[in-house]
């Protein structure tokens, strides 16, 4: 049974001054740790790793004559027409939905809001404000078709096809 009449020694007691000193020191330590974490994050390189906009579409003989092939991963169409090869964006110009080739109707249709496009990208109907943009396409030294998704072909140059 503890003796309640025994006085508390001054070594065991935490007075008000020591309590607030420890509380303040703890707060400063937490603030310093947060500052160090933000400083480290600031000094670390902030790089966004994005895939290359240039897509290797493979060998031209992969695409039969008069075909429209959708590459879902890159969002492009590779079209092999009588004139040669060209590429369209498969992203609808209305709200950015991925379009689909409808071979039975011979058109490209947007499943979201009903926009319809011809196989050369011209708008037929629907809420899309613009036709599907042509993308730059060329052959590399190995004979593969390369498509640059970041470069649109101007309308006046849309008669330039890749011929193999």
pLDDT value at residue 57: 87
Question: Would you kindly state where each structural domain of the chain is located, as residue ranges?
Answer: 14-49, 54-157
Report pLDDT for 112: 87
* Residue 78: predicted pLDDT: 92
Task: Tell the CATH topology of 54-157.
Answer: Rieske Iron-sulfur Protein (2.102.10)
**Closest alpha carbon to 66 in 45, 49, 85, 90:** 85
User: How far apart, in whole angstroms, are the C-alpha atoms of residue 41 and residue 5?
Assistant: 57
Closest CA to 132 of 113, 112, 115: 115
Cβ neighbour number for residue 16 with a 10 Å cutoff: 7
- 99, 107 Cβ separation under 8 angstroms: no
Q: Which residue has the tokens 């037929």?
A: 124
pTM: 0.67
* Per-run averaged pLDDT (10 residues), the chain, 164 residues: 58 80 94 94 84 87 89 90 90 89 91 89 89 90 90 75 75
The answer to whether 147 touches 100, Cβ cutoff 8 Å, is no
10 Å CB burial of residue 128 (0-12, 13-18, 19+) is buried
**59, 76 contact by CB (below 8 A):** no
CA distance 130 to 124: 10
Query: CA-CA distance, 5 to 58, in Å (whole number)?
Result: 93
What is the model's pLDDT at position 28?
96
- Residue with tokens 């309640």, as numbered in its chain: 4
């Amino acid at each position: 049974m503890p003796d309640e009449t025994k006085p508390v020694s001054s070594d065991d007691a935490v007075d008000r001054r020591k309590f607030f000193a420890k509380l303040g020191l703890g707060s400063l330590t937490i603030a310093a740790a947060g500052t160090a974490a933000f400083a480290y994050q600031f000094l670390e390189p902030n790089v966004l790793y994005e895939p290359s906009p240039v897509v290797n579409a493979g060998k031209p003989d992969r695409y039969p004559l008069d075909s429209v092939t959708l590459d879902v991963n890159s969002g492009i169409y590779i079209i092999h027409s009588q004139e040669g090869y060209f590429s369209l964006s498969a992203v609808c110009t209305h709200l950015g939905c991925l379009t689909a080739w409808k071979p039975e109707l011979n058109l490209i249709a947007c499943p979201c809001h009903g926009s319809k496009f011809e196989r050369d990208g011209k708008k037929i109907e629907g809420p899309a404000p613009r036709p599907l943009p042509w993308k730059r396409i060329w052959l590399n030294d190995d004979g593969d078709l390369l498509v640059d998704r970041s470069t649109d072909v101007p309308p006046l140059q849309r008669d330039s096809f890749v011929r193999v």
